A and B are shown apart, each in its own frame.
Chain A
């Protein structure tokens, strides 16, 4: 599992570093991502992790305070980076985002599941 995660991380970095990088705040064209820190959050507790993370990614690891509940903290503390109003007109089957001037149709399956 550790090797799979490590390979995936390297693959993601290769993909990102081979194309322009977009962040929420600015366009970082030409930037190469060279991670300096690996943060680990989630249910895995560092003492019971069955595999050794430092040897995988060769960068220092940090377990943020309250890492076991990071997702809940994130939901509570997330800074607003953008706001928009999305109206789903179920009669016309249209999605409308007034701030963007967007109006488009959606399929009957839109609300039946999957990630958006």
Chain B
């Protein structure tokens, strides 16, 4: 699990109550990591894409 983007979102005070299905994209210089949330909870197997 990519803890960085998932926890960075969960740690944002503005999203502390997020309970929706959501997608997170961590867009870096060479790759984009994709994380999926079900009812606000991160799933265990996100994937990444090469930019």
With a cutoff of 8 Å between Cβ atoms, the chain A residues found around residue B14 in the complex are 64-65
Number of A-B residue pairs at CB separation under 8 A: 142
Contact indicator B4/A31 (Cβ below 8 Å): no
Given A8-B34, A64-B9, verify A36-B3 contact (CB < 8 Å): no
Q: Cβ of A74 < 8 Å from any Cβ of B?
A: yes
- A69 CA / B42 CA spacing, docked (Å): 19
Contact indicator B27/A70 (Cβ below 8 Å): no
Flag A1-37 by CB within 8 Å of B: 1 or 0 each: 1001100110011001000011111101001011111
Q: List 23 A-B contacts (CB under 8 A).
A: A8-B49, A16-B36, A23-B43, A24-B44, A26-B41, A28-B39, A35-B20, A37-B22, A38-B22, A39-B9, A41-B5, A41-B24, A42-B28, A42-B32, A53-B25, A62-B15, A64-B12, A64-B14, A69-B8, A74-B8, A74-B11, A79-B7, A79-B10
